[in-house]
Protein backbone atom coordinates (compact mmCIF):
# COMPACT_ATOMS: atom_id res chain seq x y z
CA UNK A 1 0.00 0.00 0.00
CA UNK A 2 1.42 3.39 -0.97
CA UNK A 3 1.13 6.30 1.43
CA UNK A 4 -0.18 9.61 0.23
CA UNK A 5 1.93 12.66 0.98
CA UNK A 6 0.69 16.08 2.06
CA UNK A 7 3.30 18.74 1.36
CA UNK A 8 3.04 21.80 3.58
CA UNK A 9 4.78 24.78 2.00
CA UNK A 10 5.37 28.24 3.42
CA UNK A 11 5.75 30.49 0.41
CA UNK A 12 7.92 33.58 0.61
CA UNK A 13 8.12 36.06 -2.22
CA UNK A 14 11.64 37.27 -1.69
CA UNK A 15 14.92 35.72 -0.80
CA UNK A 16 16.16 37.97 1.98
CA UNK A 17 16.47 36.25 5.28
CA UNK A 18 15.68 37.08 8.85
CA UNK A 19 17.41 34.24 10.64
CA UNK A 20 15.76 35.20 13.92
CA UNK A 21 12.39 34.49 12.31
CA UNK A 22 13.63 31.40 10.45
CA UNK A 23 13.85 29.31 13.63
CA UNK A 24 10.30 30.24 14.59
CA UNK A 25 9.06 29.61 11.04
CA UNK A 26 10.61 26.16 11.08
CA UNK A 27 9.11 25.39 14.48
CA UNK A 28 5.66 26.50 13.26
CA UNK A 29 5.94 24.37 10.13
CA UNK A 30 7.03 21.34 12.14
CA UNK A 31 4.22 21.79 14.64
CA UNK A 32 1.62 22.29 11.93
CA UNK A 33 2.85 19.23 10.00
CA UNK A 34 2.72 17.11 13.16
CA UNK A 35 -0.66 18.31 14.42
CA UNK A 36 -2.33 18.44 11.02
CA UNK A 37 -0.71 15.20 9.93
CA UNK A 38 -2.11 13.34 12.93
CA UNK A 39 -5.62 14.18 11.71
CA UNK A 40 -5.31 13.06 8.10
CA UNK A 41 -4.37 9.77 6.42
CA UNK A 42 -1.26 11.28 4.82
CA UNK A 43 2.43 11.45 5.52
CA UNK A 44 3.33 15.13 5.89
CA UNK A 45 6.43 16.90 4.66
CA UNK A 46 7.13 20.59 5.14
CA UNK A 47 9.08 23.07 3.08
CA UNK A 48 9.96 26.72 3.00
CA UNK A 49 9.86 28.13 -0.52
CA UNK A 50 11.55 31.38 -1.52
CA UNK A 51 9.96 32.01 -4.88
CA UNK A 52 12.53 34.40 -6.33
CA UNK A 53 15.68 32.44 -5.51
CA UNK A 54 16.80 29.82 -8.01
CA UNK A 55 19.74 28.48 -6.01
CA UNK A 56 18.92 26.15 -3.10
CA UNK A 57 22.50 26.46 -1.82
CA UNK A 58 21.99 30.22 -1.44
CA UNK A 59 18.78 29.58 0.47
CA UNK A 60 20.50 27.06 2.70
CA UNK A 61 23.31 29.51 3.46
CA UNK A 62 20.84 32.33 4.00
CA UNK A 63 18.85 30.34 6.54
CA UNK A 64 22.11 29.62 8.42
CA UNK A 65 21.23 26.00 9.12
CA UNK A 66 17.70 26.67 10.38
CA UNK A 67 16.34 24.63 7.45
CA UNK A 68 17.99 21.55 5.98
CA UNK A 69 18.21 21.23 2.19
CA UNK A 70 15.41 18.64 2.23
CA UNK A 71 13.03 21.32 3.59
CA UNK A 72 14.00 24.07 1.14
CA UNK A 73 12.22 24.68 -2.16
CA UNK A 74 12.72 27.18 -4.96
CA UNK A 75 9.93 28.88 -6.87
CA UNK A 76 10.77 26.83 -9.94
CA UNK A 77 10.40 23.62 -7.90
CA UNK A 78 7.05 24.80 -6.54
CA UNK A 79 5.82 25.50 -10.06
CA UNK A 80 6.96 22.07 -11.20
CA UNK A 81 5.10 20.49 -8.29
CA UNK A 82 1.93 22.39 -9.16
CA UNK A 83 2.40 21.94 -12.92
CA UNK A 84 2.56 25.71 -13.47
CA UNK A 85 4.79 27.42 -16.03
CA UNK A 86 7.42 29.26 -13.96
CA UNK A 87 8.52 31.48 -16.87
CA UNK A 88 4.95 32.65 -17.48
CA UNK A 89 4.55 33.55 -13.80
CA UNK A 90 7.79 35.56 -13.85
CA UNK A 91 6.73 37.39 -17.05
CA UNK A 92 3.31 38.23 -15.58
CA UNK A 93 4.89 39.50 -12.37
CA UNK A 94 7.34 41.70 -14.29
CA UNK A 95 4.47 43.23 -16.26
CA UNK A 96 2.46 43.71 -13.06
CA UNK A 97 5.43 45.46 -11.44
CA UNK A 98 5.67 47.89 -14.36
CA UNK A 99 1.91 48.51 -14.28
CA UNK A 100 2.08 49.11 -10.53
CA UNK A 101 4.77 51.78 -10.92
CA UNK A 102 2.64 53.69 -13.42
CA UNK A 103 -0.42 53.37 -11.20
CA UNK A 104 1.54 54.54 -8.16
CA UNK A 105 2.89 57.60 -9.97
CA UNK A 106 -0.52 58.47 -11.41
CA UNK A 107 -2.05 58.32 -7.94
CA UNK A 108 0.86 60.22 -6.40
CA UNK A 109 0.48 63.22 -8.74
CA UNK A 110 -3.18 63.45 -7.79
CA UNK A 111 -1.97 64.79 -4.44
CA UNK A 112 -1.87 68.57 -4.91
CA UNK A 113 1.29 69.16 -2.85
CA UNK A 114 3.18 66.42 -4.70
CA UNK A 115 2.08 67.75 -8.08
CA UNK A 116 3.16 71.26 -7.05
CA UNK A 117 6.58 70.04 -5.91
CA UNK A 118 7.13 68.08 -9.10
CA UNK A 119 6.33 71.16 -11.19
CA UNK A 120 8.83 73.18 -9.11
CA UNK A 121 11.51 70.54 -9.61
CA UNK A 122 10.93 70.53 -13.36
CA UNK A 123 11.19 74.35 -13.48
CA UNK A 124 14.52 74.11 -11.64
CA UNK A 125 15.76 71.73 -14.31
CA UNK A 126 15.55 68.50 -12.37
CA UNK A 127 16.19 65.54 -14.60
CA UNK A 128 13.42 62.99 -14.50
Distance (Å, whole) CA 36 – CA 115? 53
Q: Phi and psi for 45 in degrees, rounded to 5? A: -130, 145
Q: Would you state the pLDDT for residue 17?
A: 66
Q: Would you state the pLDDT for residue 90?
A: 93
Q: Would you state the pLDDT for residue 18?
A: 67
Q: Which residue ranges of the chain lie beneath pLDDT 50?
A: 1
**Secondary structure (3-state) at 112:** helix
Q: Would you state the pLDDT for residue 38?
A: 83
Q: Per-residue pLDDT tens for 31-46?
A: 999 888 888 888 899 9
Instruction: Give the start-to-end residue ranges of the domains of the chain.
Output: 5-84, 98-128
Amino acid sequence: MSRRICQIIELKDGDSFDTKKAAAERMNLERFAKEFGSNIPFTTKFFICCFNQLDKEELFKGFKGKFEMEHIMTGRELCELLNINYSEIIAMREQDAQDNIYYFLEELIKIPDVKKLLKQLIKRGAKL
